[in-house]
Amino acid sequence: MLEKTIKTTMIASLMGLAALTGCKKAQAPAAPEPVTVVVTAPTATPTYTTTITSTPTHTRTITNTPTPTPTNTPLYGPGVPDIFPLYVPAKCDSTGNFQGMVVHIDPTQHNAVGYIRGNNLDCPSVWYSKPYWDSPYVAISNAGIFSYPFRTGYNDNLATEMMVYIVPKSKMNQVPVLGTSGCSSGSSIPLIMETISVAKELMIRPACTATPMPTNTPTP
């Protein structure tokens, strides 16, 4: 009985203590409220791909071709330059030209320069540049041959002789032009022609009764 009374007393004490301390009966936890989760799908950002098509580059290769150096090979080999008359027109020949052949020079690098004079010309002692004052020379062929026209003015067919010089092309600007002032000039060929020329030849026209001068062929 005593034990029951003690238990009753303890229960009452505990209840009173609970009342004093404000303890409440434990309650079951409330059910959680539902949570709505909104999942937003990411917006796809478009990707732009640039395709670059390479155009082949055509590279032009320029090859510098050197200019051939002239061999400057003289006709008939090395030696003293000389002129061989091939044809000298007679005094009654009204069509033929003075012709000659040059040896031991490079014909591509030289010109033939000629002057005429004659006793029957207006000024007998005057030398005249031929064929023209503004072009007082003729070219030499690769074979070394030149043909010199001299009937390019009044009474030129009366000329009795022609002096021919072989002059390097690099010195053509020093060639004097004669006969431009009538009888007052050209009484002699300036000495500079002796300096700048490599060969010279005086060709005298034969009389009309003479046999034409034969062709001279130089011997190598």
pLDDT at residue 200 greater than cutoff 80: yes
Distance of alpha carbon 215 from alpha carbon 85, whole angstroms: 8
- The tens digit of pLDDT for each residue in 163-190 reads 999 999 999 999 999 988 777 667 889 9
Identify the bridge partners of residue 87 per DSSP, sorted by sequence position: 99
Q: How far apart are the first and last CA of the chain?
A: 174
Q: Is 192 helix (H, G, I), strand (E, B) or coil?
A: helix
Segment among 1-5, 45-49, 128-132 with least mean pLDDT: 1-5
Integer Cα distance of 28 and 43 in angstroms = 44
Share of the chain above pLDDT 70, in %: 60
Give which of 164, 87, 103, 108 is closest to 131, Cα–Cα: 164
At 75-97, the pLDDT tens digits run 888 999 999 999 999 988 888 99
**Where is average pLDDT lowest: 5-9, 104-108, 145-149?**
5-9
Contact 186, 178 (CB under 8 A): yes
Residue bearing tokens 């434990």: 26
At residue 68, does pLDDT exceed 70? no
Q: pLDDT tier at 55 (50, 70, 90 boundaries)? A: low
Amino acid 101: pLDDT? 98
The percent of the chain in helix, strand and coil, each rounded to the nearest 5, is 20, 20, 60
* 18-22, 34-38, 79-83: least confident range: 18-22
